Structure 1
């Protein structure tokens, strides 16, 4: 059997914390920023935990 390869694109987007949670950058900060209020753009900074539904799929892509 060949080795399992991790998905390099997902490796750049998601990170596994020490406790095993998967965190990603929040969505909505790439374009149309002039329309969004400063309050909204500040609130979108930082990382968030991935939803429980997507966790299994992302872990598989990360090779975990």
Structure 2
């Protein structure tokens, strides 16, 4: 039986933290940044956590 591959899109978007939580980047930080406040852009830079309702779906994509 062949190996089960990880989804490449999920591999690029999510990281596992030391405590086992799944980390993600915030949206709305890629373009049209001139109209957004500096504080808002700075807060979007920080990593967020995947919501508990989506954790099982992301783990399935990462094959964890």
Q: Provide the TM-score with structure 2 as the length reference.
A: 0.89
Quote the Cα distance in structure 2 between the aligned partners of 1:52 and 1:20.
Answer: 13
Residue 3 (structure 1) shift: 2.2
CA RMSD of aligned residues (A): 1.1
1:10 lines up with 2:10 in the alignment: yes
The DSSP-based 3-state class of the residue aligned with 2:48 is: strand
Ranges in structure 1 where 5+ consecutive residues have no aligned partner: none
Residue 2 (structure 1) shift: 3.0
For residues 6-59 of structure 1, the C-alpha deviation after alignment (integer angstroms, 9 at most, x for no partner) is 101110110011211000111110111111111111121110110011110000
The DSSP-based 3-state class of the residue aligned with 2:6 is: coil
Quote the Cα distance in structure 1 between the aligned partners of 2:9 and 2:26.
Answer: 17
1:41 lines up with 2:29 in the alignment: no
Ranges in structure 2 where 5+ consecutive residues have no aligned partner: none
Instruction: Give the total of aligned pairs.
Output: 64
